[in-house]
Amino acid sequence: MQNPATHLYYHPLSLQHDTGSGHPERSDRIQALLDHLEKTGLNSQCIWKTPEPATLEAIQTNHSLDYIKMVQQVAAGGGGPLDADTILSSKSYEAALMSSGACIQGVDTVCKGNAPNAFCMNRPPGHHSRRSTAMGFCLFNNIAIGARHALKQHGLERVFILDWDVHHGNGTQESFYEDESVFYCSIHQSPLYPGTGMPYETGDGEGEGFTLNLTVSSGTRGNIYESLLNEKVLPAMRDFQPELIMISAGFDAHRRDPLAGVQLEDEDFGMLTSGVLDAANDICEGRVVSVLEGGYDLEGLAGGVEQHLRGLLGLL
């Protein structure tokens, strides 16, 4: 018997990764979500889970040991910048291990049928981080590590990642660019940071045809996202027949977000979620693991996540 409720992964360490005053990727994001879920009563509809930290071995499925050690050492030394906008504090290494751990355990719970789906309410985010480089507020690539875990530990052969963060997930794309076992699909604003994710980037070698980049311009509204979902994303998903669907759920395509110009409303995140869930029910017994990425306006983030969770809980 499957438990009918979404498992929600949260750990207090996500509040202790301190990026410094004025940084958009700040602990207030998680606090705003905690407050909003309580206010709306959604907190009692999900089953809360406390993640364990990812093991070094798990992080190494996607990152070089030298890079992991460097992150550990900078944090142990009190923190500092890894690039112009990726800042560590003393707790950031532990928080990053927990952020990836949440993703791994979300995969475990969904693959074992303990929950139909899971949402990892974690930070730091992950989709920009590369094998040996931190980038764009991201330390370890949580969703890539989760997908590798699904392949290695659960013996899956096909995982589909949908990344609707407003920025292209260059790190995730790189991880699976030559890999036919993970389909990476991104809807993102272009031109915008990090500048990758052109429609002609479609994978290479064995991975040719398993990367799909859908670009939108600043000002794009939900009706275009709905068309892209129905005409591009879901057909690709049905063709691929994944055994697990993962979502890089960023909420910075919200109209209130200060870092981009896409104009999605709260409800558009519910529409995207319900569309993916319907397809997941047809294709892979509803197995969806969603992982928080960006979203920098606290009200927009809270409203978007509320609709996303309502979708995951089947309340829409």
Nearest-angstrom CA–CA distance, 90 and 95: 10
The least distance separating Zn ion from the CB of residue 11, rounded to whole angstroms, comes to: 21
By beta-carbon proximity to Zn ion, the closer residue of 294 and 303 is 294
Phi then psi for residue 241, to 5 deg, are: 55, 60
Q: Which of 216, 285, 284, 295 is nearest to 255 (CA)?
A: 295
- By the rule CB under 5 A, 297 interacts with Zn ion: no
The least distance separating Zn ion from the CB of residue 253, rounded to whole angstroms, comes to: 8
Residue 195 burial by Cβ neighbours in a 10 Å radius (0-12, 13-18, 19+): exposed
The least distance separating Zn ion from the CB of residue 261, rounded to whole angstroms, comes to: 12
Residue 120's DSSP bridge partners are 9, 291
Nearest-angstrom CA–CA distance, 16 and 90: 9
Select from 51-59, 143-151, 162-170, 196-204 the region that touches Zn ion (CB under 5 A).
Answer: 162-170
User: How many residues touch Zn ion (CB under 5 A)?
Assistant: 5
For residue 70, the tally of other CB atoms under 10 A from its CB is 15
Site for Zn ion in 238-267 (CB under 5 A): 250, 252
Q: Which of 36, 63, 127, 128 is catalytic?
A: 128
Select from 22-30, 202-210, 213-221, 290-298 the region that touches Zn ion (CB under 5 A).
Answer: 290-298
The least distance separating Zn ion from the CB of residue 250, rounded to whole angstroms, comes to: 4
- By the rule CB under 5 A, 128 interacts with Zn ion: no
- By the rule CB under 5 A, 165 interacts with Zn ion: yes
- By the rule CB under 5 A, 203 interacts with Zn ion: no
254: annotated active-site residue: no
Provide the token pair at 252: 């910075």
How does strand 7-9 pair with strand 182-189?
unpaired
How does strand 79-83 pair with strand 86-89?
antiparallel
For residue 44, the tally of other CB atoms under 10 A from its CB is 11
By beta-carbon proximity to Zn ion, the closer residue of 169 and 286 is 169
Nearest-angstrom CA–CA distance, 291 and 303: 16
By beta-carbon proximity to Zn ion, the closer residue of 101 and 294 is 294
Gyration radius (Cα) of the chain, Å: 17
The least distance separating Zn ion from the CB of residue 22, rounded to whole angstroms, comes to: 18
- By the rule CB under 5 A, 300 interacts with Zn ion: no
Binds Zn ion (CB under 5 A): choice among 36, 167, 256, 287: 167
**Which spans of this chain sit near Zn ion (rule: CB under 5 A)?**
165, 167, 250, 252, 294
Q: Which residues are catalytic?
A: 128
